[in-house]
A and B are shown apart, each in its own frame.
Chain A
Amino acid sequence: MTHKATKIVIITEKLILEKVKRVIEAAGATGYTIVAAGGKGSRGVRASGRAAVVDAFTNVKVEVITANREAAVKIADEVAARFFGDYSGITYLENVEILRPDKF
């Protein structure tokens, strides 16, 4: 038996990771997953794995799953409003199906 939930994906600079985590936790999400990310966007190509002399400019992908859709929208809106003027990043929501709803 699965349950509906919302996943927020935030791909942004490692430099602001701590601040993004605070936004997520303030919105009431109970957990998140962070992986190193690389790719191409409006601000150029970001490599992953290769030696990066400026480590803090490499990208990360943060995934948050929450059963509360309003909290999900709040996280996405707040991250975009606070950071994406000065820092590179994208964010999007996905509908997902989860097992064990008590975990979220």
Chain B
Amino acid sequence: MPRRLKPRSNVIDLVLDFLARLLVQFQSPALAFLIGGMLLAAARSKLEIPDAIYKFCVFMLLMRIGLEGGLEIREAELVDMLLPAILAMVIGCGIVLLGRVVLAALPGVKVEDALATAGLFGAVSASTLAAAMVMLEEQEVFYEAWVPALYPFMDVPALIVAIVLANVYFAKKENGARTKVRIWPIVRDSLRGSALSALLLGLALGLFTHPQIVYEGFYDPLFRGLLSVLMLIMGMEAYTRLNELRKVAHWYAVYAAAAPLAHGLIAFGLGYVAHILTGFSPGGVVLLAVMAGSSSDISGPPTLRAGIPSANPSAYVGSSTSVGTPIAIAVGIPLYIALAQAVFGL
């Protein structure tokens, strides 16, 4: 029966096509620099990138994302942004709740450590997001420029939920009255962090002023080059922090490897629904998946360390920086782009 045969060959074509596209993604410079950084650290290279350069790279990346987003929001329909923004918040909170149920139940994992880890994986990594933007541009996949500006909608709620849940847990354990968590200081600390400050300033400048000249002449052209330096640093840091992960339960490594892809694929599914309902672009769906799959490296750790001081930073920073981020960048981004190309027929 031809009706049965045809879909089957389609599926095979789809899988082959998907694998071929995946292979192309692996040759992207962003990934190459990340892996290069890991190799350098593994070889005990003496190459050091000064801290000031790292901070400057982060500033440049987020300022560029903010400016571009701000310029675009002027022309965008605010209604189009509503559903993806709500999805971002739901995903951020959902990841932490999922971690509370799954990771905290694993042997050798303390609840406060699990919550801090889940909070970090729910929060967003600016460098992972920037890498995804560059890879989408390389493949000429369109996305609305305001999508990266959804970052705080996922990031801040995830951190808040993690800290609130940890305090609820401590209150129950001690059978005492629940200590009230003050939400505002968490939001304030997140927004004051170097990454979100630069992003929000960029958004405001893009919205209310005319920064096109500096954007086109400075921030946009330098974006890719500085991202490669940042990827090198992330790779070196990932390898260096592997030692810390060895000190904690092995389940953290398992979670850190599986969670980014699970979160990304869930977000891809939700993004697909938004695509059908409101015409959210395929590139936007990919970026939403990337944000969900990424784990915060800049703003998340200090916020969590202050909010859940008894959680062990080796557990959550080790999981995120040494396993979560490399998986999110090297496997996650190519996977979602290839998936988008297959699903949306780009």
Query: Which residues of A are at the interface with B, using a C-beta cutoff of 8 A?
Result: 15, 44, 49-57, 85-87
Q: Can you spell out 11 A-B residue pairs with CB atoms less than 8 angstroms apart?
A: A49-B48, A50-B48, A50-B51, A51-B49, A51-B236, A54-B298, A55-B194, A55-B302, A56-B301, A85-B310, A87-B309
Our count of residue pairs bridging A and B at CB distance below 8 angstroms stands at 54
Cβ-based interface call for B54 (8 A): yes
Asked if B50 contacts A51 (CB within 8 A), the reply is yes
Asked if B309 contacts A53 (CB within 8 A), the reply is no
Distance between Cα atoms of A20 and B181 in the complex (Å): 22
Chain B binding surface SS class: helix
B195 to chain A, nearest CB (A): 11
Q: Flag B14-53 by CB within 8 Å of A: 1 or 0 each.
A: 0000000000000000000000000000000000111101
Asked if B309 contacts A51 (CB within 8 A), the reply is no
Distance between Cα atoms of A55 and B321 in the complex (Å): 13
Distance between Cα atoms of A87 and B311 in the complex (Å): 10
Which 4 pairs show the lowest CB-CB distances between chains A and B? A56-B302, A51-B54, A86-B309, A54-B301
Query: Which residues of B are at the interface with A, using a C-beta cutoff of 8 A?
Result: 48-51, 53-55, 194, 233-234, 236-237, 243-244, 297-298, 301-302, 305-306, 309-310, 313-314, 317, 321
Distance between Cα atoms of A57 and B297 in the complex (Å): 12
| Known pairs A44-B244, A55-B302 / 8 extra A-B pairs, C-beta < 8 Å | A49-B48, A53-B233, A53-B234, A53-B297, A54-B317, A55-B55, A55-B298, A57-B301
Distance between Cα atoms of A56 and B233 in the complex (Å): 17
Asked if B309 contacts A54 (CB within 8 A), the reply is no
A92 to chain B, nearest CB (A): 23
Chain B residues with CB under 8 Å of A87's CB are 309
Distance between Cα atoms of A53 and B125 in the complex (Å): 11
Contacts A56-B301, A57-B313 known; A51 to B237 CB distance under 8 Å? yes
| Closest residue of B by beta carbon distance from A52 | B51
| Closest residue of A by beta carbon distance from B241 | A53
Asked if A49 contacts B51 (CB within 8 A), the reply is yes
A65 to chain B, nearest CB (A): 28
Asked if A54 contacts B297 (CB within 8 A), the reply is yes
B321 to chain A, nearest CB (A): 6
Chain A residues with CB under 8 Å of B49's CB are 50-51
The one of A51, A52, A57 that contacts B305, using a Cβ cutoff of 8 Å: A57
Asked if B51 contacts A51 (CB within 8 A), the reply is yes
Distance between Cα atoms of A39 and B317 in the complex (Å): 19
Distance between Cα atoms of A15 and B298 in the complex (Å): 13
A36 to chain B, nearest CB (A): 9
Most chain B CB within a 10 A radius of its CB, from A51, A53, A57, A87? A53
